Amino acid sequence: MERHIFLVGMPGSGKSALGRRVALEIQMPYLDTDAYLSEITGMNTAQIYEAFGEDAFRDGETNLLRALINATPGIISTGGGTVLREENQKIMRAQGYIVLIDRPIDDILMDIRAEKRPLLAQKGREEIARIYDERIPIYRQIADVVLDNGNGFHNGLAALSSIARRLRV
């Protein structure tokens, strides 16, 4: 029986780019939780944080994960902080496979656009490293599979595609 494939990791790790491409390649539905929440609110994630706060944003993530329980299995790119809630971890564990997309901090810093990354906006390398150090044990603890996305997009794409195909069996 097919299950969802949840992509977890830091903002800028490549979850959305890789997830979207692999879902298209293997013909699975794709959902980016941040993009979905932005679409239904009409605001980008930074605006949601500013208007409603982080707790409301996290509530939206949890409600979305609950709604996915009965959805057709797909590849789900989660927000970087989705795993901080134990309830979200339980939902993802019960409904699918969890793939950690891990990427070196220096690579993340080169690619991120601060206006789309509210928790990373205006933060230097030290703060991003602190967030990474805080979250990486949680990501690793809940992950069924770890994908090192530090060797270039095409290598990450090939690795995720292989993982997704194997998990669908």
pLDDT at 169: 52
CATH number, residue 46? 3.40.50.300
Residue 115's pLDDT band (cuts 50, 70, 90): very low
Total domain count, the chain: 1
Tens digit of each residue's pLDDT (9 = 90 or more) over 117-129: 555 555 667 888 8
Q: What is the pTM of this model?
A: 0.90
pLDDT at 141: 97
Is residue 150 a contact partner of residue 107, using CB atoms and an 8 Å limit? Answer: yes
Is residue 122 a contact partner of residue 33, using CB atoms and an 8 Å limit? Answer: no
Spatial strand order of the sheet with 4-8 comes to 30-32, 75-77, 4-8, 96-102, 145-148
CA 121 from centroid of its chain's CA atoms? 18
Domain interval for residue 63: 4-168
Interatomic CA distance for residues 5 and 76, integer angstroms:
6
DSSP notation for 47-103: HHHHHH-HHHHHHHHHHHHHHGGGSPP-EEEPPTTGGGSHHHHHHHHHHEEEEEEE-
pLDDT at 112: 64
DSSP single-letter state for residue 43: S
Tens digit of each residue's pLDDT (9 = 90 or more) over 38-95: 999 999 888 888 899 889 999 999 999 999 888 899 999 999 999 999 999 999 999 9
* Average pLDDT score over residue span 24-51: 90
